[in-house]
Amino acid sequence: MPSTDPVVDAAVRDLLDRWGQPAAAFCASGGAALEAALEVLEVGAGAEVVVPDVGCHSVAAAVVRVGAVPVFVGVGEGLTLHPPDVAAACSARTRAVIAVHQYGLPCDVPGIVAAVPRDVAVIEDVAQTWGSTTRGVPAGSTGTLTVTSFGPSKPVALGAGGALLGPADLVSGAVARGDTSDRHRPRPPSPARFPAPLYPLLPAAVAEADRQLASRRAAVERFTGGDLARHFRLPGLLPGSSAGWTRVPLYPARSATPHHLAQLTDALGAAQRMHPRPPSALPMFRGRDTRVVTGTRRPVEPLLVKIGRPS
C-alpha cells in the first residue's frame, strides 16, 4: 500500500475493487502508467500496438516512446474500438491493444479479448471513465493491465498523477523501470513516482467522482426524456452496459437547428464539435513508423457536450 493512513489505504482498495484489479502502482501521470504497462509486457522496438484513432494523442505517444509502432484504428459512432476492426488490424507483430473507454463510453473489452490472438495483451485505459460497465462487467476489470490518470480534467481528479493496475507480479516495481538515456524518442520515459502529498486527497476525490457521476447520469436521463432527444442522438450502448458520460457525444439529426443547439447548451452544458483531425494525422507522428486502419466509419461527427459541474 502507498500510505500508512487507513483512510487513504481504504480509498486505494476502493479503486482496486471498482476497476476489478488486485494491485496498483501509482506514478507521475497517465502517460507514465501507459509506458510502464508496455514495458512490463515487454512491448518494445518493432512491436505493434493497436490504439483508437480518436481522442488524446498521448496514448499513441506512449507507444512511440517505448519504441513500438502505433496502429491507429478508426472508431464508429460508439467512439471506442470495435472488436472486428481490432482483429483486422492485428499482424504477426502485434503485441498489445490499448482499449480506451473514451468519454466514459464503455469499450467492448471482453469482445476485443475474444477477437485477438491469445498472445496479444489488452490494456484498458480508464482515465476518462468512472462507473462505466461493459456487458455487466466494470470497466478496467477485463484487460491484462489497466491504466488511469488523476489529472485535473479526469473523473478522479487529484491535479496530477496516474496509476498502473493489475496482477501484483506485473505491477510491483513497474514505476521504477524505464530507460531515461535514450534521447532519440519524442521524450524519454517518465518513471517518476506519484507525488506523495496527493495521497491524502484521494478519498475526497473518489467521493467527488461519485457525486459527479450521479449528476451527469441524472442530466443525461433528463435529456433523453425531453424534446431535445428528437434532434440529438446519443451513441448506442452495448447490451448490459452503462456509460460514465465524462463528455456526452450527441449526433445531430437533420431537424437540429441553431435554436435547438442553444437549448442543448442551456439544458446540458457547452457543446463543441469533435476535433476534425484524428491523432494519426498530427505532426508529431509524421515521419514515424505508424499504420492506419480505417475501421468502422461514422456517418456524421458528433457534438461533445461537457455537462456543467453542479454547484
What SS3 string covers 169-234? HHHCCHHHCCCCCCCCCCCCCCCCECCHHHHHHHHHHHHHHHHHHHHHHHHHHHHHCCHHHHCEEC
Q: What are the domain boundaries of the chain?
A: 6-201+276-300, 205-273
Alpha-carbon Rg for the chain, nearest whole angstrom, is: 19
Cell of 88: 483486422
Q: pLDDT tens digits, residue range 144-176?
A: 999 999 999 999 999 999 999 999 999 887 775
Contact 171, 26 (CB under 8 A): no
Q: CB count, 10 Å around CB of 200?
A: 14
In words, the CATH class of domain 6-201+276-300 is alpha beta
As a whole number of angstroms, the distance between CA 29 and CA 152 comes to 11
So what's the pLDDT on residue 72?
Answer: 97
So what's the pLDDT on residue 181?
Answer: 45
Angle at 35 between CA 45 and CA 161, to 5 degrees: 165
So what's the pLDDT on residue 95?
Answer: 98
Residue 25 one-letter amino acid: A
Q: pLDDT tens digits, residue range 109-140?
A: 999 999 999 999 999 999 999 999 999 999 99
Q: CB count, 10 Å around CB of 251?
A: 16
Q: Is the pTM of this model over 0.85?
A: yes
Q: What are phi and psi of 120, to 5 degrees?
A: -95, 115
Task: Count Cβ neighbours within 10 Å for each residue of 161-174 and write b for 16 or more, e otherwise.
Answer: bbbbbbeeebbeeb
Residue 82 is classified by DSSP as -
Contact 34, 57 (CB under 8 A): no
Helix (H, G, I), strand (E, B) or coil at 243: coil
Helix (H) or strand (E) holding 3: none
So what's the pLDDT on residue 311?
Answer: 34
Half-sphere exposure of 55 (CA within 13 A, CB side): 29
Which ranges of the chain have pLDDT less than 70? 1-4, 176-192, 308-311
